[in-house]
Amino acid sequence: MHSTNFMAKFCFVTGFLLVMTIGQGYLQTALAVTAIQYNQNLGTGINLGNALDAPKEGEWGVTLEADYFRLIKEAGFSHVRLPVRWSSHAGLQAPYRIDPVFTERVRWAIKQARQNNLRVVLNMHHYEEFEVDPDAHRERFLALWKQISEEFKNESIDQVAFEIYNEPAKKIRAAFWNQLFAEALAMVRKNNRDRIIVVGPVQWNSVTALDTLQLPDDKNLLVTIHYYEPFHFTHQGAEWVGAESKNWLGTTWSGSAEQIAALKSDFDKAQKWADAHQRPIYLGEFGAYSKADMPSRAKYTQAVRENAAQHGFSAAYWEFCSGFGAYNPVIHSWRKAIRDALIPTKAGH
């Protein structure tokens, strides 16, 4: 009698706990947006480039202003990608502490975006020493993510995504990158269980390197690609590419059948990969440098944006108010041809 009573209580309590556990699991699954939904919500965004990704903010001519976020929202963008050079604001020895003043500056930028109802893709950008000697910087790379993930773990999972590294290239090879990404992800998952994490392939996030990307079994990943083809058009006169880029000056882009076919074919490849691997695609950067002529830039920008949308990719233009700038900060005005190419509803205004 006594033991039956005990068993009944035991079953009741265990059953209750089981229901609670399943219930909680269900609740969390139901609340977390799926990667596919998140990608749709990102829509069209813009990179706040050359600001927090410069060695020091302002050194490359861009210091973020609260007004920029309002302007971006009003123009019709739905997210900002925030490139951040954490490596020039952190200690060189363990525990590689990130300067808290810099962290607060990044927090300020996220807050401005959030107050303007813009989603945020927060990344790590231009850790140049890591690209040159990945093995030597592996531990520091992970230590930076440990701190970033802890600092920003309370940001809404519906609004803020983390991108582990912009354009892994140079000495960062695929096998190394796949392994390091898996480690970084496992660490970030400790305090950001359901956050959307963005990851792209080596070779500057190129479409052609997608096949080398091997991802852990994690449903909350967005895969990013960057698109600057034809490179001689988009990077004509780009000082950071090298002296030969001067020879490309005058290259135009008219949106000819052949040019559109090349663009479509590249995006078809990315989409094929995405379908095969069941991953949504985020085109995190595209655009043409200001040395190209404006009609070509506008046509190109519109064609890439439209093709991305047709392929189901979300996209972010590179970038807001610097060398590729959609906005001219000197005269406080959008470059209408580019803005209209990005946000069709504004055309004619």
Q: Which is nearer to ligand GLC, 47 or 302 (CB)?
A: 47
Q: How far apart are CA 295 and CA 322, in angstroms?
A: 18
Tokens 């660490």 belong to which residue?
A: 187
Binding string to ligand GLC for residues 164 to 183, with x set by CB under 6 A, is what? --xx----------------
Residue nearest ligand GLC by beta-carbon distance: 285
CA distance 86 to 93: 14
- Any residues with CB less than 8 A from the CB of 261 and at least 6 apart, and which? none
Q: How far is the CB of 288 from ligand GLC (least distance, A)?
A: 10
Distance CA(303)–CA(115), nearest Å, equals 31
Find the binding residues for ligand GLC in span 300-319 (CB under 6 A): 318
Q: 229 vs 285, which CB is nearer to ligand GLC?
A: 285
Contact between 311 and 271 (Cβ < 8 Å): yes
How many other CB atoms sit within 10 Å of the CB of residue 20?
A: 10
Tokens of 138: 């592996």
Q: How many residues touch ligand GLC (CB under 6 A)?
A: 5
Question: Under a CB-based contact definition with an 8 Å cutoff, are residues 213 and 178 in contact?
Answer: yes
Nearer to ligand GLC, 157 or 263 (CB): 263
Contact 194, 220 (CB under 8 A): yes
For the CB of residue 244, give the shortest distance to ligand GLC in the complex, in Å. 15
- CB closer to ligand GLC, 220 vs 320: 320
Shortest distance, position 157 Cβ to ligand GLC, whole Å: 25
Site string for ligand GLC, 316-345 (x = CB under 6 A): --x---------------------------
Q: Residue 284 CB, nearest distance to ligand GLC (Å)?
A: 8
155/319 with CB nearer ligand GLC: 319
> Is residue 224 at the binding interface for ligand GLC, with CB under 6 A as the rule?
no
**Side-chain-facing half-sphere of 213: CA atoms under 13 Å:** 29
Is 285 a binder of ligand GLC (CB under 6 A)?
Answer: yes
User: What b/e string do you get for 269-299 counting C-beta neighbours within 10 Å, with b at 16 or more?
Assistant: ebbebbeeeebbbbbbbbbbbbbbbeebbbb
* Closest distance of CB 162 from ligand GLC, Å: 17
Report the C-alpha dihedral over residues 285, 60, 160, 147, rounded to 10 degrees. 120
Q: Which of residues 123-162 bind ligand GLC (CB under 6 A)?
A: 125
Query: Least distance from C-beta 67 to ligand GLC, angstroms?
Result: 23
| Closest alpha carbon to 281 in 292, 295, 271 | 271
Distance of closest approach, residue 321 Cβ to ligand GLC, in angstroms: 13
Nearer to ligand GLC, 163 or 285 (CB): 285
State in angstroms the smallest separation of the CB of 322 from ligand GLC: 8
Which residues form the interface with ligand GLC (CB under 6 A)?
Answer: 125, 166-167, 285, 318
